[in-house]
Amino acid sequence: MFRAHEQVFTWRAERARLEPTVDHHRGSVRFSLIPLPGAAPLSAAFVTRCIEHARQQGGTEIVTPAVTARESAGIRDAGFRERAALHLLVHDLLDIPGRSGSGSALRAGHRRAASADDEIILQIDRAAFGPDWCLDSGGLQEAVNATPRVRIRMADDPVAGSLGFAITGRSGRRGYLQRLAVDPAAQRGGIGRSLVVDALRWNKRWRVARVVVNTQIGNHAAYELYRRLGFVDAPIGLYVLHLPLLEPLAQPDSDGPEATTRQL
């Protein structure tokens, strides 16, 4: 039986969460299709049912988080296209460099983010990543809720105000640098480096074994920053997939489940 419970879909060993984000400015509803840890890779038949549910709810697009090639196979078979290919990098926390920097980094201090900082976080993110890749309020909540423990740090200049932020999470002995953004006017001044080092030290204090981060292939500045700070390339790549919902569904090879989804 294929069923939906609080946006978590289950069929046999396959499980995924389907989360909507409403963009009131664009008048659109974007769904995130998130495979759940420990579940089997999603089949095209399973994904097709998720697509149908998103359509019924007025969705205009479905996107995935970063997934491996194995995780993406059934999703691609259901009609999703590649939106971006990503580097996956890993840090073993054995050797963490210092926070040395120049210019903005020497003046900027770190502090814990408050809920009142959400708007400035989104502004910095939009300036750093542009309209196609920036977080909206729903994406920010996804990043914050992705791990059981999370830390958001702001880099503040006494004159210019907030110039950057980092969202770091941890689950068990694995850490995740979920998001790093620096205002373009303050980039290459060491702020990004100081935020990454801060994130690594926080994870090490909690006895995390390794920290992972992904960055878009072609984002050479971020990739080189991570490499300089001791991250190494993982042997697998990651992909972000998406599907506009204004097109006909792809027909999966498998007959799949016959039951329709139910909104609870």
Instruction: Decide the pairing of beta strands 109-112 and 8-11.
Output: unpaired
Instruction: State the pLDDT at residue 146.
Output: 85
What mean pLDDT value characterizes the chain? 87
Q: How far is 137 from 121, CA to CA, in rounded Å?
A: 10
Q: Which domains does the chain have, with CATH numbers?
A: 3-86+239-244 (3.40.630), 93-208 (3.40.630.30)
Record the tokens describing residue 49, joined without a space: 């049912």
Name residues of the chain where pLDDT drops below 50.
1, 3-5, 248, 254-264
Tokens linked to 243: 């599907």
Q: Which of 89, 12, 50 is nearest to 249 (CA)?
A: 50
User: Residue 119: what pLDDT?
Assistant: 97
Distance CA(229)–CA(231), nearest Å, equals 6
Give residue-wise pLDDT tens across range 23-43.
766 667 889 999 998 899 999
Report d(CA 53, CA 56) in Å as an integer. 5
The per-residue pLDDT for 246 is: 74
**How many Å apart are CA 185 and CA 129, to the nearest integer?**
13
Contact 209, 190 (CB under 8 A): no
